[in-house]
Amino acid sequence: EENGHQNKRLKRDAGEEDAEDQNKKSPKRKIVLLMAYSGKGYHGMQRNVGSSQFKTIEDDLVSALVQSGCIPENHGEDMKKMSFQRCARTDKGVSAAGQIVSLKVRLIDDILEKINNHLPSHIRILGLKRVTGGFNSKNKCDARTYSYMLPTFAFAPKDHDVQEEVYRLDKETLEKVNKLLARYKGTHNFHNFTSQKGPRDPSAKRYIMEMYCGEPFVRENIEFAVIKVKGQSFMMHQIRKMIGLVIAIVKGYAAESIIELCWGEEKVDVPKAPGLGLVLERVHFEKYNRRFGNDGLHEPLEWTEEEEKIAVFKEQYIYPTIINTEREEKSMVNWLNTLSIHDFSSSAVGMQANNKNSK
């Protein structure tokens, strides 16, 4: 009898220890998080481990994941341990309304609330879904949609003295802008729209599904418009250069024929529009959704229920940041003043020769 009691007690103690151990080793699950953030003041999304000098969105995210108890501390130092993958690497200053990251976490109670409690208000986790164990948010993504919000005076003709707050975009100019943006659609060699890629690099070929500029609207006395672009994937600075070149053409600095020239092997001097107005709107997982979205175990990666939260976040944090920064720092005005320096008539090689001669 005594032995029986002892065995029971031992079992109970062991059970309590097991529960503690179980808590420590609670099974990790592969999930995706839907993120929105205002990128001002950050050096992009991707974390540079060992470089605390440049703060990134992922620095704040990883810190919140550790503090909320979703991941052990050592996973924060080595992100491979939690199979972390971001869907898009947004550049310095770029915001997101629908960024997706995939990772393994402990599914603790009230997980979203706990993570958000440790994040600054301009970074929010808006949704969470369970995904398949082998899911990788970067590789499984079929397409990405970005928007670019810009003041419409960017399209004013170069020889006209424009008062920024007075300018309004007319119908003909908007039609011209959209005609030019539509020329990017399809598969092209975008080596001139990024740095460090040669014309024969196969990875410079990219597929653009749609690109257009919406109707203008007025905020704080300045008229703005939003350009939307959906593509399979984008290279560093690609969207900003695509928009920069269209602005240069509409303003009258460059001929329309320069777009065709860009697809060729020659190096063309393409101006890069400011990063301020660029926002990662959403990422698309059509193939994954078809395969796993209705298998009874996994949800499709659609965020219809979160649409309202996304819209509210944009109105609270993203648009005001773009508008106020534009008013205070005049990033578009200052950039437009540099367009006259670009030599659109010759290649970069020709430009270097001209610079030497002028020196």
- Which active-site residues does the annotation give? 91
Contacts of 200 (CB under 8 A, 6+ apart): 265
**Cα 136 → chain centroid:** 17
Question: How is residue 26 annotated by DSSP?
Answer: P
The tokens describing 87, both together, are: 């869907």
Calpha distance 127→306 (Å, rounded): 7
146 is in an annotated binding site: yes
Is-contact 266 347, C-beta < 8 A?
A: yes
The tokens describing 35, both together, are: 């993120």
**Cα 239 → chain centroid:** 11
CA distance readout (Å), 108 to 31, 231, 299: 12, 36, 19
CA distance readout (Å), 80 to 74, 103, 237, 320: 10, 9, 27, 35
Which amino acids are annotated as binding site for substrate, given as ranges? 146
